[in-house]
Amino acid sequence: MNLFGGFISVTGISFLMFCIFGILFAGYALGRITIKGVSLGDAGVFVVALLFGALLIGPLEAQMVIKGETETVNFLEKALEVVEQLGLILFVTSVGFIAGPKFFGNMKKNFKSYVLLGLVIILAGGISAVICICMGKVIGYGSTIETSAGFTAMIVGLLSGSLTSTPAFSAAKATVDPSLTSLVSVGHGIAYIFGVIGVVLFVQLVPKVMKADMDLERAKLVIKEEKAEGKKSFTGTLLKLDPHGFGVFALAAVLGNFVGKIKIPLSADGLSGTCFSLTTTGGCLLVALVLGHFRRIGKLDMMPDQHTLKLFRELGLVLFLVGAGIPGGADFVANFDIMYFVYGVFMTIFPMFIGFFFAKYVLKLSLLNNLGSITGGMTSTPALGTLIGVSKTEDVAAAYAATYPIALIAVVLVSQFLIILFP
């Protein structure tokens, strides 16, 4: 059903805004429903967006002349990409500023732990993908795939979706044979939904199953990080660009976009071959961490107001969930296959549990440091938002921010190695 009638207009854009705010209202209402202490929270917005995309909306396409050639452009898809990217920028930049003051001290203390945990989670994800590839060779690839290379493309797509990793998704599409890129996209769409919801539920259920004393866990987290921050003190009056810190926030977002576009070649072809980049997400996170750590440049205050950061963090998260959820719902319905969905669930659960137990029993991380690192290792933006709500402390963002870059790099490399090893 195409609600926009096949054309773009001010009315169509206004109606899209109406739909977005309607999804936010319904999603927050759904997220408030609590069953035995567990709720979807902000992920309720994602569920409603999925249902909206699956049941109510169709593509908005029009013909445009681009560089002298007529092309079909899906305006709804492009508009939602803008919403998703805006949400990501707001969220990760806020997280970077919030985590920045304590990040580097915490990173210095736990650097080996964060690196190891990020690698363990992604390697476990790679192992789960190999298991699925081997199972496919035994029980069959499925009704729509006839070749080993096609099945590997599907599995790598499922892996990127189960870890909600856009960089891995992009790298996989760039590495597979061009005729197989659609299979990567299908796999990503099928696994993405549980990849979001599974980690969100995990960070809520674990403290309840362990009957954790959250006051004690928060104290463990704060004590560790206060020591790392102890030497920081600023005197004198700093110059603010504006009362709320919008100006320095915008600066971090602009610089983060530039940093995220820097490409590092991963093949002998140089920049014309496969490259790694932090993407907008990683770039904004890194720049905000640095600015949040130093907090000033000369007499200029580089730290936005905490109320601004909390507002942007929440707004960014729900906009991201709407922007990703609507097209995700449409793709899920169009491409759903129960066998591939089960593979995706396995590739979310296996690395998550391996990472949790490795952090608990080998690295001896406290519960909140453990769960914060899991959200970073699983590259799960929504789960971090949920964990902040569950733990009632912003400090868990430091563990997310420390593990996230390691996982980001590792999942891109693992995805490409799977394609090379299982042609």
The count of structural domains within the chain is 1
Are 288 and 245 contacting, i.e. CB atoms less than 8 angstroms apart?
Answer: no
Highest mean pLDDT among 8-17, 23-32, 49-58: 23-32
Q: Do the domain assignments include residue 378?
A: yes
**What pLDDT sits at residue 285?**
81
Residue 233 in tokens: 């003190």
Of the pLDDT bands very low, low, confident and very high (cuts 50, 70, 90), residue 49 is: confident
Give the range among 30-34, 111-115, 180-184, 321-325 with minimum mean pLDDT.
Answer: 180-184
Q: Do the domain assignments include residue 384?
A: yes
Residue 212 in tokens: 């954790």
**What pLDDT sits at residue 226?**
44
Q: Do the domain assignments include residue 151?
A: yes
Could you please report the per-residue DSSP string of 220-266? HHHHHHHHHHTT----SPPB-SSTT-HHHHHHHHHHHHHHHT--EE-
Pick left, alpha or beta for residue 236 (phi over 0 → left; psi -120 to 50 → alpha; otherwise beta).
Answer: left
Mean pLDDT value of segment 16-30:
89
The CA distance from 289 to 297, in Å, is 14
Give the number of other CB atoms < 10 A from CB of residue 37. Answer: 9
Q: Residue 215's Cα: distance from chain center in Å? A: 28
Which is more confident, 21 or 402? 21
Helices (H), 56-74: none
Give the number of other CB atoms < 10 A from CB of residue 338. Answer: 9
**What pLDDT sits at residue 274?**
60
The CA distance from 224 to 240, in Å, is 31
**What pLDDT sits at residue 6?**
45
**What pLDDT sits at residue 5?**
43
Identify the domain containing residue 151 by its residue range.
Answer: 92-228+262-307+332-421
Q: Do the domain assignments include residue 314?
A: no
Of the pLDDT bands very low, low, confident and very high (cuts 50, 70, 90), residue 235 is: low
Identity of the residue numbered 390:
V
Residue 421 in tokens: 């090893």
Mean pLDDT value of segment 237-265:
87
Q: Do the domain assignments include residue 128?
A: yes
pLDDT in tens, 381-400: 788 888 888 888 888 888 88
Which is more confident, 176 or 9? 176
Of the pLDDT bands very low, low, confident and very high (cuts 50, 70, 90), residue 231 is: very low
pLDDT in tens, 64-86: 444 556 555 566 777 788 888 88
Q: Do the domain assignments include residue 10?
A: no
Q: Do the domain assignments include residue 298?
A: yes
Of the pLDDT bands very low, low, confident and very high (cuts 50, 70, 90), residue 61 is: very low
Identity of the residue numbered 214:
M
Q: Do the domain assignments include residue 114?
A: yes
